[in-house]
Amino acid sequence: METVVTCFTCFALFLSLHLINKLVFTKKKGKVKLPPSPPSLPFLGHLHYLYKPLHHSLARLSARYGPVLLLQLGTRRTLVVSSACLAEECFTTNDHAFSNRPHLPSASINTYNHTMLPIKKLQSYRDAFMQAIVEEHRIRKARAVEGRKEADEEEEESNNRGRHKTMIEALLSLQKEQPGLYTDRYIKSLLLGLLTGGTDTTSNVIEWAISLLLNNPEIFERAREEIVENVGEARLVEESDLGNFPYLHCIIQETLRMYPAGPLIPRESIKECKVGGYIIPPRTILLTNAYAIQRNPKLWVEPMKFIPERFLNDAKLQMEGKMLPFGKGRRSCPGEGLAMKEMALVRIN
């Protein structure tokens, strides 16, 4: 009897919370025009819709409920955008409003309490960046006026000896000058960001490229012919040669389209804004589904096929806004140029 009463009490409590959640959400939605949302559960919100990989489940939700969705993932409100035009609106018109990265409790463990630059709040570093630019400008002007070029001469002499200062050496030198800013923890977070951003993402894309080329031997043969025609088979390809491989560049772009290294682009709103005519409250996580956008059949011809030729000639100009492998706006990936060169050199050689 006690078990029955307990079960009934739990069910009544669950039902009451669900009704309260519905009433509160409906009341809030009546005041402002919020984006559409699928049916939710108490406490969980929309977590029961998600499965791995996350970008697949979000793409499936967007295909069913629309290109812009407002989800309640536990205690966090999340805006999911799977439309190229709405993503463009988020990264241009509302670029300042979505200038932060979401700070999640799990991320504080492996990012040294959010000290890594890629997830740091932009406002906290804006003044430091401006001060560094102004100071560098003043130093350059002073050197030009006074004719002091000791630092440049020392650097040139070091380069002539073949001795280049490593990243760690440069950071340790800065630590001696500003120990309060360049702490051990901060330096470790910078190095971790370099390792994760410069190895995992690039290597994943290279693996997909190799797989796609092996499954498309005619494309592989055309790429090989382009390499032989430009540099032959007697030497390795160097960075200065990369401009001679337009078809290889198309292969890289097509790989990034089908398998972006970051299929979901995370941001967080710092103030209220409007996306697609809907009101987005502050502290809302934005997840732009680049995977869904870059495979949208309304934007791409045969999006599930590996067709590098779609990026030849002026075709890329027509694809601006449809390709988001490195994000866009003020929080886009600063290592895009380096990543493209790395992927090209590794694939060719």
Alpha-carbon distance of 250 to 334, in angstroms, equals: 21
Establish whether 333 is an annotated binding residue.
yes
Output the CA angle 197-203-206, nearest 5 degrees. Answer: 130
Q: Residue 100 carries which DSSP code?
A: B
Which has the closest alpha carbon to 325: 289, 300, 301?
289
SS3 10: helix
Q: How far apart are CA 114 and CA 121, in angstroms?
A: 9
Q: What is the DSSP string of 194-249?
A: HHIIIIIHHHHHHHHHHHHHHT-HHHHHHHHHHHHHHH-SSS---GGGGGG-HHHH
- For the chain, state the CA radius of gyration: 25
Q: Residue 284: which of 81, 120, 110, 113 has the closest Cα?
A: 81
Residue whose token pair is 């919020």: 34
Q: Residue positions in the annotated binding site?
A: 333
* Residues in the annotated binding site for heme: 333
